[in-house]
C-alpha cells in the first residue's frame, strides 16, 4: 500500500482474470494503492479475461474519452445450441443440434457481419429498461425488450475450427456486445451458438503486451516501482494534437478560459495552408506536463473542458 498522501495519476492496464467483475478489480486496486480515486474505462464480463484499463487519480476524469473506444478481442464460439445469457454461464434456450462447420462458409458469413450493423444487446446486460438494469429483470424472468443499436465490426477473423468450437478475433466499436455477435452468428448458421470464452486484447491505445496482473501490481508497489505499471497522463489520447502554452495563456487555461489558436497560413485562398481543425487538443505546460483537454468551439477558438488543477 502506498498510502493516501501519495498523489498518483495515470492508467494501469490490468490483466483481468476470469470469475471476477470489473468493479472487483477496482476494489482490489484501491486496496493495493491505498487510495479511493480509482475507476475503469469500460467493463469486462466476469467470465472474460484480458485488458482492463484502470484509471487512477486525475485519470479517472478521462473515462469520457474512452468508453466508446475501439476494442479488440479473441475468443471461442461454441455452435450447437444457444443460451439465455449468450455465453457459457447461461441456461440452454434451444435444443442441441449436430454441427458440421466448414471454414469457407464461416468466412463468408463472417464477412456478412463486418461493417456497420444493428445489434440487439443481450437480455442479461447492464442496459437500463425503465430505470432497472436489464439483467435484474432477466434474472426474475421478467420480459426484457431492448432496442437494437448501431455498432461497427471493423474486422472479424476466423482463427480455427475444432469440432463445434470456432476460434475468432474481432475488432469492434465501443458498445458492441461480442456475446450478441456469437448469438447472431449461431442464428445465421442455423444451429444456435454462444460465447464459450473471451479475452480482450486491446482498448483504444492500450494493448495486451502492457497488461499486468494484480499480483504483479502489488509486487511493483511493494518494490516502489509503480511507475513500471503506470501509463502517465501525458501518454493518454496519443491521437490528439498537443499544444504547449506558457505565461498568460497558461494561466488562462488553468482558470478554464477560452483561447484562440493562432494558425499559420501559407499560399493563397481561404483554406490554403490551413491544418485540419482538431476537435480536441492536449494542452501542455512548458515542462510538458498535461494541464488540460480543450475542445474546439468555433473558428480558431478552443475551450478547456477538462482542467487538471
Check 45, 84, 184, 305 and give the catalytic one: 45
∠ at Cα 106 (100, 111), nearest 5°? 165
**H-helix segments, 103-152:** 103-112, 134-139
Give the span between the Cα atoms of 14 and 74, in whole angstroms.
17
Active site residue 24: no
293 and 301 in contact (C-beta within 8 Å)? no
The string of DSSP codes covering 85-97 is: TSBTTS-B-S---
**H-helix segments, the chain:** 22-33, 103-112, 134-139, 178-189, 214-222, 247-254
Long-range CB contacts (within 8 A, 24+) of 17-26: 17/49, 17/213, 17/214, 18/46, 18/47, 18/48, 18/49, 19/46, 19/47, 20/46, 21/46, 22/52, 25/52, 25/54, 25/214, 26/54
Give the span between the Cα atoms of 274 and 299, in whole angstroms.
12
Q: Locate 263 and state its grid cell.
A: 494558425
The set of catalytic residues is 45
Amino acid at each position: 500500500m502506498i498510502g493516501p498522501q501519495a498523489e498518483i495519476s495515470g492508467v494501469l492496464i490490468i490483466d483481468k482474470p476470469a470469475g471476477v467483475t470489473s468493479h472487483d478489480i477496482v476494489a482490489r486496486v484501491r486496496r493495493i494503492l491505498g487510495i479511493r480515486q480509482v475507476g475503469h474505462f469500460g467493463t469486462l464480463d466476469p467470465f472474460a479475461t484480458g485488458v482492463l484499463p484502470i484509471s487512477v487519480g486525475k485519470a479517472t476524469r478521462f473515462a469520457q474519452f474512452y468508453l466508446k473506444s475501439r476494442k479488440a478481442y479473441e475468443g471461442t464460439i461454441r455452435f450447437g445450441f444457444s443460451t439465455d445469457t449468450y455465453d457459457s454461464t447461461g441456461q440452454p434456450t434451444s435444443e442441441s443440434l449436430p454441427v458440421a462447420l466448414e471454414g469457407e462458409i464461416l468466412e463468408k458469413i463472417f464477412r456478412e457481419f463486418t461493417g456497420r450493423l444493428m445489434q440487439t444487446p443481450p437480455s442479461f446486460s447492464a442496459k437500463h429498461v425503465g430505470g432497472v438494469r436489464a439483467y435484474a429483470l432477466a434474472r426474475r424472468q421478467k420480459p426484457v425488450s431492448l432496442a437494437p443499436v448501431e455498432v461497427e465490426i471493423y474486422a472479424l477473423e476466423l482463427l480455427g475450427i475444432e469440432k463445434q468450437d470456432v476460434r475468432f478475433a474481432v475488432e469492434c466499436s465501443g458498445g458492441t456486445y461480442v456475446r450478441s455477435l456469437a448469438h447472431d452468428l449461431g442464428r445465421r448458421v442455423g444451429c444456435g451458438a454462444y460465447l464459450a470464452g473471451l479475452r480482450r486484447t486491446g482498448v483504444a491505445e492500450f494493448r495486451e503486451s502492457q497488461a499486468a496482473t494484480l499480483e504483479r501490481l502489488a509486487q511493483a508497489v511493494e518494490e516502489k516501482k509503480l511507475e513500471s505499471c503506470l501509463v502517465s497522463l501525458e501518454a493518454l489520447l496519443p491521437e490528439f494534437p498537443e499544444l504547449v502554452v506558457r505565461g498568460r495563456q497558461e494561466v488562462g487555461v488553468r482558470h478554464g478560459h477560452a483561447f484562440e489558436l493562432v494558425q499559420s497560413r501559407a499560399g493563397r485562398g481561404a483554406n490554403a495552408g490551413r491544418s485540419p481543425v482538431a476537435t480536441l487538443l492536449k494542452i501542455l505546460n512548458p515542462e510538458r506536463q498535461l494541464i488540460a483537454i480543450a475542445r474546439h468551439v468555433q473558428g480558431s477558438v478552443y475551450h478547456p473542458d477538462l482542467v487538471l488543477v
